[in-house]
Amino acid sequence: MSEAVVETQALTKKYGEFVALDQLSISLQRGQILGFIGPNGAGKTTAIKILVGLARPTAGQARIAGVDCVREARKIKHLVGYMPDRFGSYDNMRVREYLDFFGAAFKIPWQRRRQRIDQVLETTGSTYMADRFVETLSHGMQQRIGIARTLLHDPEVLILDEPANGLDPQARIEMRELLLHLAAMGKTLIVTSHILPELSRICDRVAILTHGRLRASGTMDEIMTQVRQKRLIEVQLPNHAQFQQASQTLAQALGDHAAVVPSEAEAILRFETDRPDDDLGRVLALLVSSGIRVSQFRAVVSDLEDAFLNVTRSEADAA
């Protein structure tokens, strides 16, 4: 197993009495993509700000490539490329001039800077925008230029706050491909997004935050195991003729009437269960032996959205 590039230990940030981040511990290896998800105000941006040296934690540690994010904030700037959720446009500036400024700010030697600008424009597929004025670019174009800017000084870690926000479907697909391309280049990425299907397609690891606390983290499979102990099973009938009979037989088989959720319009019966596959086979056999025609008996595949909703719902229930 390779060494962790991003690592936080019991990271805590308090604003007076308000706890913005509570004991966050995560780790991420080189070339991986971490999806940071959580509702608004969950503490994602606070965690990111600590990682990029823009905020100081109240307690805990954060390290990037072995460098302490608090004590060595200057070094962190060279190691991290950060794209905030706001683009940070400058008026009357062309894209090339914009990138030139940030290149100069990062002290990239001027002989190499032009070449580097061409490289990052090519990587992000933005070469054709080089002479455009930054403020006239569309949102999708600005996001690309934002990523080009973060790549200028060739950082090890890229932290992108809502890169897919406000993008049309085509631009979202392009953004997804770009992020995968960057990971393939060996960059480690931390990405926040509200568009969960997008994240689930690209992330190696996911961290779910609510109210400043880490509720679940790991690979997609690990997350599903953590947040969903029960599977959702659907019983699809060919028509409504045997719907009532099927509902009663299923409830009888499960031993719990309340567990079955009927949807007569779809001719589907749903239930959540933690029974093993053998037991489920017996339930199906009972239905068939009772003369009920079953067209499909399937487990519904959970996705990140389900996991996220599960976490936030259980949080609300606990409250």
Partner 1 sequence: MPTHPIVQREFIGTMRCHRAAATVIVAAMVFSALVLLGWPSDAQVDLSGAPAQKVFRLFGYGLLGALLLLTPAFPATSIVREKQRGTLILLLNSPLRSGSIYFGKLIGSLGLVVLLLLTSLPAAAACYAMGGISLDGELLPLYAILLLVAVQYTSWALLVSTYAQSTDAALRYAYGGVLLMAVVSLGPHYFLQGTGGWKAPAAEHLRCVSPITAVMELVGHSGVGSKGLLVAGDVFWRFVSYSMLATGLFAGLTLLRLNHRLFDRAHSQGLITDERHWLIRTLRRMVFVVDPQRRKLTIAPLVNPVMVKEFRCRRFGRMHWMIRLAAFSAMASLGLTYVASLGSMDWGPETIGGLMVLLQGALIVLLTPALAAGLISTELESGGWQLLQMTPLSATRILIGKLASVVWPLLLILVSTLPGYVVMVYIEPSMWLQIRQVLISLVLTGVFSIALSLACSSLFSRTATATASAYAVLAVFCGGTMLVWLLRDAPFGHGTVVTALTMNPIAAGLAVIRTPGFEQYQLIPASWWFAACASMICMTLVIFRTHRLTRPQ
The candidate with the shortest Cα–Cα distance to 134, out of 93, 104, 83, 86, is 93
Pick 76 or 196: Cβ nearer partner 1: 76
Q: Could you give the CA distance from residue 79 to residue 297 in angstroms, rounded to a whole number?
A: 51
Q: Least distance in Å: CB of 154 to partner 1?
A: 14
Q: Is the Cβ–Cβ distance between 257 and 251 less than 8 Å? A: yes
Tokens of 282: 């017996």
| Amino acid letter, residue 109 | P
Q: Which of 3, 59, 136, 181 binds partner 1 (CB under 8 A)?
A: 136
User: Closer to partner 1 at the Cβ: 15 or 300?
Assistant: 15
Both tokens of 22, joined, read 């509570």
Among all chains, which residue has been given the structure tokens 């190696």?
204
Told to check if 73 binds partner 1 by CB under 8 A, we report: yes
- Least gap, CB of 294 to partner 1 (angstroms): 53
**Nearest approach, Cβ of 180 to partner 1 (angstroms)?**
24
For partner 1, the binding residue among 33, 48, 55, 224 (CB under 8 A) is 55
Distance (Å, rounded) from C-alpha 187 to C-alpha 165?
21
- The contact mask relative to partner 1 for 99-118 (x = CB under 8 A, - = no) is -xxxxxxxx-xx--xx----
Is 297 a binder of partner 1 (CB under 8 A)? no
In angstroms, give the least distance from the CB of 105 to partner 1.
4
The type of residue at 293 is R
- Residue 139 as a binder of partner 1 (CB under 8 A): the answer is no
Does position 289 interact with partner 1 (CB under 8 A)? The reply is no
As measured in angstroms, the least distance from the Cβ of 260 to partner 1 is 49
DSSP run (H or E) holding 245: helix 243-254
Angle at 158 between CA 90 and CA 115, to 5 degrees: 65
Q: Are strands 33-37 and 188-192 parallel, antiparallel or unpaired?
A: parallel
Region of 60-68, 84-92, 209-217, 257-265 interacting with partner 1 (CB under 8 A) = 84-92
Q: Which stretch binds partner 1 (CB under 8 A): 23-31, 51-59, 177-185, 245-253?
A: 51-59
Determine the interface stretch with partner 1 among 125-133, 197-205, 206-214, 261-269 (rule: CB under 8 A).
125-133
Distance CA 238, CA 191 (A): 43
Please give the residues from 220 up to 279 whose contact with partner 1 meets the rule CB under 8 A.
Answer: none
- How many other β-carbons are positioned within 10 Å of the β-carbon of residue 259? 14
What residues form DSSP beta bridges with 189?
33, 158
Cβ(33)–Cβ(204) under 8 Å? Answer: yes
Which residue blocks in 192-241 are alpha helix, DSSP H? 196-202, 220-227
Rounded Cα distance between 211 and 316, Å, is 11
By CB under 8 A, what part of segment 148-177 binds partner 1?
149
Nearest approach in angstroms of CB 63 to partner 1 is 16
Give the strand pairing for 157-161 and 268-273: unpaired
Given the rule CB under 8 A, which of 33-41, 81-89, 194-202, 270-278 is the region that contacts partner 1?
81-89
Stretch of 35-43, 132-140, 234-242, 272-280 contacting partner 1, by CB under 8 A: 132-140
Residues that bind partner 1 (CB under 8 A): 49, 52-56, 70, 73-74, 77-78, 80, 82, 84, 86-97, 100-107, 109-110, 113-114, 131-133, 136, 149
